[in-house]
Amino acid sequence: MRAVIAGAGVVGLTTAIALQRSGIETEVHEQAPEIRAAGAGLGLWANALAVFDELGLGDRLRAIGKPAEMYFRDHTGELIHPPGFSADDHRYLLVHRARLSELLADAVGRDNIRLNSRLIGYDETDAGVDARFDDGTTVTADLLVGADGAYSVVRSLLLPGSDAVKHEGHHAWRAVVRPPDGVTIERGVIVLGEKRTRGGYVPTVDGTVYWLVNQFDAEPLHGTPKEQAAERAAFLDTTGWNPALPALIEATPDDQVLHNQIMLVPPLPRWVSHRVALAGDSAHALSPHITAGASLGVEDGLLLARLLSSSDGVPGALAAYEQDRIPHYRRVNELSKRVEDSATPEEFAANYVAFSHWMISR
């Protein structure tokens, strides 16, 4: 069996590894000229680590990550302890996105990845699928996986009119930076602040620090991304207890502050056809207030590989995949919405850990 994957993000690469391990010859096509990872740090939860363990990559992944815990504080620095959950429900591994992408691309095998290769269309036949790329090449395979992110071309062809939509007013700013002189970061601090703002920082394995600021219902933005982040960092500390976050933002070069208008892919009525399947953000770009899109998305790839190796044919496996994923993400969306709609920091923290608990213990 032969598979072609559009997109070499974390989900496309992980799906490739899973398919290869199931004996499926797999080629990944990435539109960019290099394997690059937008973003800065990435929290991988226990469900994602279980996927990487099963793919034989767990140890290598832990070697490039730093264990971290997601506990929230309020804007005065007070720790919020939602009752009824264990320490495991708060634990995750923080990795640098670029290092994760390198690790995954090495595992896929660089010879199996085509760069500068943007999928522009496909034609399904009874026997397979012809995937067309912008360099004029066509690749014939038994299946095509669209792991091409929130702005997925594959999704737009499979489900015309299913464009990603802006999560109005929801923005994120982030970077990885070396702490400036005089700032020592020993542990992560994440705050649920005023004006629906969240943020803080987490140390990485190599002495740098990942800082992030998010806001729901943001007023129209003014200034540079760095100024926008600094303005909102003030909502996270109303008493001066935490000077580290503004110092980290200040120490970040302007061009290294990544700003995102958050995009969402609304729940889809279909994820597959006979020969084409969506995986990762192409099927379910989520609001990152639950910081779990990648952790959930890598499960898509493993499930797909399992179903393909245990079923008689591609169409049956893809139908089973869709049958599993649609109700699964309905639940993800319900739990995520509950977090977003939380009226107080205490409620947010409780709903957040309830989501994490559900995600890692299924």
Ligand X SMILES: Cc1cc2nc3c(=O)[nH]c(=O)nc-3n(C[C@H](O)[C@H](O)[C@H](O)COP(=O)(O)OP(=O)(O)OC[C@H]3O[C@@H](n4cnc5c(N)ncnc54)[C@H](O)[C@@H]3O)c2cc1C
Q: Please report, as ranges, the residues that interact with ligand X according to CB under 6 A.
A: 6-12, 29-32, 39, 42-43, 118-119, 147-149, 153, 172, 174, 260, 262, 280-281, 288, 291-295, 297
Three-state SS for 75-93 is CCCCECCCCCCCHHHHEEE
Q: Which amino acid is at 128?
A: G
H or E stretch at 20: helix 10-21
Strands 138-141 and 113-114: unpaired
Smallest distance from the beta carbon of 133 to ligand X, in angstroms?
A: 8
Which residue number, 241 or 258, has a Cβ lying nearer to ligand X?
258
Which residue number, 6 or 183, has a Cβ lying nearer to ligand X?
6
CB 77 within 8 A of CB 28: no
| SS3 assignment, position 258 | strand
Smallest distance from the beta carbon of 78 to ligand X, in angstroms?
A: 24
CA–CA distances in Å: residue 269 to residues 4, 78, 152, 325: 23, 43, 16, 11
| SS3 assignment, position 60 | helix
Smallest distance from the beta carbon of 192 to ligand X, in angstroms?
A: 16
Which residue number, 262 or 304, has a Cβ lying nearer to ligand X?
262
The CA radius of gyration of the chain, in Å to the nearest whole number, is 20
Which residue number, 291 or 351, has a Cβ lying nearer to ligand X?
291
Smallest distance from the beta carbon of 76 to ligand X, in angstroms?
A: 25
Which residue number, 83 or 190, has a Cβ lying nearer to ligand X?
190
Q: Provide the CA 349 distance to its chain's centre, in angstroms.
A: 20
Which residue number, 17 or 147, has a Cβ lying nearer to ligand X?
147
Dist. CA 57–CA 65, nearest whole Å: 12
- The secondary structure of the chain in percent helix, strand, coil, rounded to multiples of 5, reads 40, 25, 35
Smallest distance from the beta carbon of 238 to ligand X, in angstroms?
A: 24
Smallest distance from the beta carbon of 290 to ligand X, in angstroms?
A: 8
Which residue number, 147 or 236, has a Cβ lying nearer to ligand X?
147
Which residue number, 169 or 316, has a Cβ lying nearer to ligand X?
169
Q: What is the DSSP letter of 66?
A: E
The torsion angles phi and psi of 23, rounded to 5 degrees, stand at 85, 15
Which residue number, 311 or 328, has a Cβ lying nearer to ligand X?
328
Place of tokens 């140890």: 59
Smallest distance from the beta carbon of 14 to ligand X, in angstroms?
A: 8
Residue (of 157, 125, 155, 152) closest to 141 by Cα position: 125
CA–CA distances in Å: residue 170 to residues 196, 215, 261, 299, 336: 10, 6, 6, 26, 14
Smallest distance from the beta carbon of 330 to ligand X, in angstroms?
A: 17
Smallest distance from the beta carbon of 80 to ligand X, in angstroms?
A: 19
